[in-house]
Amino acid sequence: MAKLPTSVPLLIDRFGPHTHTVPPGGWTSAEVPDRTVKTHCCFCGQQCGIQLKVKDNKVVGFEPWQDFPFNLGKLCPKGVKRYLQGDHPDRLLTPLERVEGEGFRRTDWNTALDRTAEAIRRIQKEHGHDAFAVLTGASLTNEKAYLMGKFARVALRTANIDYNGRLCMVSAAAASKKILGYDRAANPWSDIRKSKCILVAGANIAECAPITTEYLWSAREAGAKIIVLDPRMTPIARTVDLYIPVRSGGDIGIFNGMLHVMIERGWIDRDFIAKHTTGFEEVERTVKKYTPEYASKIAGVPASMIVRAAEMWGPAESSFLLHSRGIEHHTKGVENCMAAINLVVATGRIGREGSGYAMITGQGNGQGAREQGQKCDQLPGHRDIENPEHREHMANVWGVLESSIPRKGLSALELFEAAHARKIRGMVLLSFNPMVSLPDQRFIREAIERLEFFAVIDFFLSETARFADIVFPGSLMEEDEGTTTSAEGRVIHHRQVVDPPGEARQDWKIICDLAARVGPKDKFAFSSPKEIFDELRQASRGGASDYYGITWEKIDEQNGVFWPCPELDHPGTPRLYEGGRFAHPDGKAHFQPVEWRPAAEEPDEEYPITLTSGRVVAHYLSGNQTRRIGALVKQTPQPYCEMHPRLAEKLSVTEGDFVRIESRRGSTTLRALIVKTIRPDHVFVPYHWPLERSVNNCTIRAIDPVSKIPEFKICAVRVAKSAAPEDDHVKLAPEAGGLR
């Protein structure tokens, strides 16, 4: 059979070349894709544009989407390989029900839905509406996120709905709202290229948001200075102008110390502060004691580094701050972020082109998913669930009594604590894998096992779904249509590429079918995601995250629309705070004083080492998807314990030895990776693996009192050389892990 030419270009990214998806020698005529569909990557909050190739209702490859403005055709390793999960043999194709003593068996949709509805009615009748909870994902489309919030509050009338974004951006969100008034990046990513000084705090950009690396390099090539603040010398930190190896939990020392120096040397804009802000006097009093010497003791770095950072940041012509989970995954995560934002506002440069602030979003729709009402304390449009006017607005949109809308519920980790205490008796979970992603895994497993009924909607049988009574086969991102909101605040359109396989259904249809069995059927009579989006637009109208003026047609015309977009003829708002106007009613930014305080669990004689965790470039979140993509598994097949040579020598550990990492809650045994790019008093373990390999066997259930985010980035452990675990059969790939 004749071969067709191989015309797909080779993709290059910062991690080297990737083979294009045309088979060697070209496609045969029978293999030629039917069509190519423009859509977006399903991994991380960058939401890069991609074109997926389709043959016989299967995604068989990809092409770059070079016209999409964010990534201009570039993709990271996950984006290049994302299409390979669709035809995986693990794919759920039929509903499953658990049979006592037998395990799972296939069942039909009516049986699965009826059994779930019956359990919901029984539990709520016996224990009250709030005894049944809903947990969802932050990689859902905006339409599904909105639907889940409505499902919980209108169909189930439970206060207890939350989502796994509780593990992501909630500390940044709370801090940004407190100081700036909006929960969104202040600037589009294009402003990064125009900045003259960039501070990256707790963000492993090269591995967790690889395409953003190009923005930093572009800025550097135009003369920008770059500062990186992290306990590990991440790939991005190798060539920056100043790398500060802060100890985990010491970030406030750096931020307050820098502001102290800036005030002393006159590198703050007092005119801007007087006209456009409140509360600076108290901040100034607070940071007075944070001399470089005092701050250095908190941060665990030389005082000269703090001074040098202030000298670069303070007098810069323009400046941009990027941060991520490294400063957010703490019991003082909100305070860490507020201290960082204080630095941004004090310069008076925020709102100008090239000067601003942004949070690196880890999850596929980490920005949009929390705006649509699936957070326990929030209604669509970033409305406050306890605010009477906000509640009345939603009651009118939903056609229900305001009094029928539940009040604030429990956050994600609190829901499992309530389940452990048997206050939560049943749960429906959509695209969330707490048996990998939540801290203190032994406790989480006990909590799930105490539920009287547990239903899961997912496309693979995740580690969590294995505990379910009913498993519904749901949809991958390319099997549905809808919108997401990128880390920039750009609302984008995911087009449906293929249909769900077998008997699998689109998630929104499953929820509408279930709602029809337990709640007012007419409130869930949607015939398409677009209908859900149109109701979402009305729900968000007049709120902080106003989507009313955004339509799918406008998104396609503009390659995305930035919220707020209050009217149909409004172009959207790429840059917030221009002209010094902030989102609080008084139009001003509200400085927040911040004092450093210790972590929930600091190292001591018994557990002398700080454990921190994070992501690697090959994997995504709990790994439920990427651990099924062979090329990504090959790149990083197993987790590892990254440690400094000085610590390794002290423990008599050499490269490749097994070590046991043990906390007060549990342990894991992994191979050691000896690197010079981590503090000698820290160890690092990536978190994408389950069971005995899970770093979350060790982590602590302490949470930030405001954001309720767990303290993943610091707990006390002891580490010792160990024999190989019985199930070890995969060697650590040489390309896995950090820099040597």
698 Cβ contact list (under 8 Å, min separation 6): 611, 661, 662, 663, 665, 666, 667, 668, 715, 717
In this prediction, residue 139 carries a pLDDT of: 94
In this prediction, residue 726 carries a pLDDT of: 79
In this predicted model, what pLDDT tens digit does every residue of 595-647 receive, in sequence order? 999 999 999 999 999 999 999 999 999 999 999 999 999 999 999 999 999 99
Are 460 and 313 part of one and the same domain?
Answer: no
Domain extent for 67: 11-85
Tokens of 708: 């309720």
CA-based torsion, 621, 627, 631, 632: positive or negative: positive
Give the residue-averaged pLDDT of 404-408: 98
In this predicted model, what pLDDT tens digit does every residue of 295-344 receive, in sequence order? 999 999 999 999 999 999 999 999 999 999 999 999 999 999 999 999 99
In this predicted model, what pLDDT tens digit does every residue of 638-676 receive, in sequence order? 999 999 999 999 999 999 999 999 999 999 999 999 999
Are 177 and 122 part of one and the same domain?
Answer: no
Tokens of 376: 């326990």
Q: Is the predicted pLDDT of residue 738 greater than 60, yes or no?
A: no
Are 413 and 536 part of one and the same domain?
Answer: yes
Distance CA 89, CA 293 (A): 58
Give the residue-averaged pLDDT of 138-158: 97
Q: Is the predicted pLDDT of residue 21 greater than 70, yes or no?
A: no
In this prediction, residue 664 carries a pLDDT of: 98
CATH number at residue 63: 3.30.200.210
Are 304 and 243 part of one and the same domain?
Answer: yes
Are 164 and 198 part of one and the same domain?
Answer: no
In this prediction, residue 362 carries a pLDDT of: 83
Distance CA 690, CA 692 (A): 6
Pick from 544, 537, 480: nearest CA to 510 = 480
CA-based torsion, 239, 243, 245, 246: positive or negative: negative
Are 566 and 614 part of one and the same domain?
Answer: no
In this prediction, residue 604 carries a pLDDT of: 97
Q: Is the predicted pLDDT of residue 27 greater than 70, yes or no?
A: no
In this prediction, residue 177 carries a pLDDT of: 97
Burial of 109 (0-12, 13-18, 19+ CB in 10 A): middle
In this prediction, residue 25 carries a pLDDT of: 56
- Label residues 388-411 b or e (16+ Cβ within 10 Å = b): eebbebbbebbebeeeebbeebbb
Q: Is the predicted pLDDT of residue 16 greater than 50, yes or no?
A: no
Give the residue-averaged pLDDT of 380-404: 97
Question: Which residues sit opposite 104 in a β-bridge?
Answer: 98
Residue of higher predicted confidence among 337 and 733:
337
Q: Of 571, 587, 619, which one is at a domain's C-terminal end?
A: 571
Pick from 540, 525, 548, 564: nearest CA to 393 = 540
Contact between 507 and 489 under an 8 Å Cβ cutoff? The reply is no
Name residue, tokens 């949809």.
475
Give the residue-averaged pLDDT of 236-253: 97
Q: Is the predicted pLDDT of residue 733 greater than 50, yes or no?
A: no
Q: Is the predicted pLDDT of residue 725 greater than 80, yes or no?
A: yes
Total number of domains constituting the chain: 4
Give the residue-averaged pLDDT of 239-263: 98
706 Cβ contact list (under 8 Å, min separation 6): 171, 174, 334
CATH number at residue 405: 3.40.50.740
Are 391 and 443 part of one and the same domain?
Answer: yes
CATH number at residue 228: 3.40.228.10
Distance CA 533, CA 360 (A): 25
Q: Is residue 672 part of a domain?
A: yes
Phi, psi of 282 (to 5 degrees): -70, -40
Q: Is residue 704 part of a domain?
A: yes
Tokens of 405: 């809308």
In this prediction, residue 278 carries a pLDDT of: 98
670 Cβ contact list (under 8 Å, min separation 6): 638, 639, 640, 641, 658, 659, 661, 685, 693
- Give the pLDDT band of residue 87 (cuts 50, 70, 90): confident
Question: Which residues sit opposite 378 in a β-bridge?
Answer: 384
Contact between 11 and 17 under an 8 Å Cβ cutoff? The reply is yes
In this prediction, residue 519 carries a pLDDT of: 87
Sheet holding 96-99, edge to edge: 103-106, 96-99, 470-473, 453-458, 426-430, 132-136, 161-163
In this prediction, residue 101 carries a pLDDT of: 87
Distance CA 281, CA 274 (A): 10
Q: Is residue 544 part of a domain?
A: yes
235 Cβ contact list (under 8 Å, min separation 6): 204, 206, 207, 739
Are 57 and 125 part of one and the same domain?
Answer: no
Q: Is the predicted pLDDT of residue 5 greater than 80, yes or no?
A: no
Are 233 and 192 part of one and the same domain?
Answer: yes
In this prediction, residue 28 carries a pLDDT of: 60
Provide the residue count of the chain: 740
Question: Which residues sit opposite 456 in a β-bridge?
Answer: 429, 471
Burial of 17 (0-12, 13-18, 19+ CB in 10 A): exposed
**pTM of the predicted structure, to 2 decimals:** 0.93
Q: In 24-102, which residue ranges form alpha helices assigned H by DSSP? A: 77-81
In this prediction, residue 301 carries a pLDDT of: 98
Contact between 227 and 240 under an 8 Å Cβ cutoff? The reply is yes
Distance CA 512, CA 700 (A): 37
In this prediction, residue 727 carries a pLDDT of: 67
The C-alpha R_g of the chain, in whole angstroms, comes to 25
CA 183, 699, 228: angle at the middle one, nearest 5?
50
In this prediction, residue 15 carries a pLDDT of: 30
What is the SS3 assignment for 382? coil
Q: Is the predicted pLDDT of residue 2 greater than 50, yes or no?
A: no
Q: 633: part of which helix (H) or strand (E)?
A: helix 630-635
- Give the pLDDT band of residue 23 (cuts 50, 70, 90): low
Q: Is residue 590 part of a domain?
A: no
Phi, psi of 496 (to 5 degrees): -70, 130
Would residue 214 be called left, alpha or beta, if left means φ above 0 and alpha means ψ between -120 and 50 degrees? alpha
In this predicted model, what pLDDT tens digit does every residue of 95-131 receive, in sequence order? 999 998 889 999 999 999 999 999 999 999 999 999 9
What is the SS3 assignment for 359? strand
Q: Of 298, 326, 359, which one is at a domain's C-terminal end?
A: 359
Are 174 and 163 part of one and the same domain?
Answer: no
Q: Is residue 431 part of a domain?
A: yes
CATH number at residue 716: 2.40.40.20
Q: Of 36, 66, 85, which one is at a domain's C-terminal end?
A: 85
Are 193 and 342 part of one and the same domain?
Answer: yes
In this prediction, residue 20 carries a pLDDT of: 37
- Label residues 258-289 b or e (16+ Cβ within 10 Å = b): bbbbbbeeebbbeebbeebbebbeebbebbee
- Give the pLDDT band of residue 30 (cuts 50, 70, 90): low
In this prediction, residue 13 carries a pLDDT of: 29
Q: Is the predicted pLDDT of residue 736 greater than 60, yes or no?
A: no
Distance CA 197, CA 195 (A): 6
Are 388 and 521 part of one and the same domain?
Answer: yes
Q: Is the predicted pLDDT of residue 440 greater than 80, yes or no?
A: yes
Q: Is residue 425 part of a domain?
A: yes
Q: Is the predicted pLDDT of residue 90 greater than 60, yes or no?
A: yes
Q: What is the residue type of 39?
A: T
Percent of the residues in the chain that have a pLDDT greater than 70, as a whole number: 94
Q: Is residue 588 part of a domain?
A: no
Percent of the residues in the chain that have a pLDDT greater than 90, as a whole number: 92
In this predicted model, what pLDDT tens digit does every residue of 549-587 receive, in sequence order? 999 999 999 999 999 999 999 999 999 999 999 999 999
Question: Which residues sit opposite 703 in a β-bridge?
Answer: 710
- Whether the upstream peptide bond of residue 564 has omega within 30° of 0, thus cis, is yes
The mean pLDDT value of the chain amounts to 93
102 Cβ contact list (under 8 Å, min separation 6): none
Q: Is residue 473 part of a domain?
A: yes
Q: Is the predicted pLDDT of residue 735 greater than 50, yes or no?
A: no
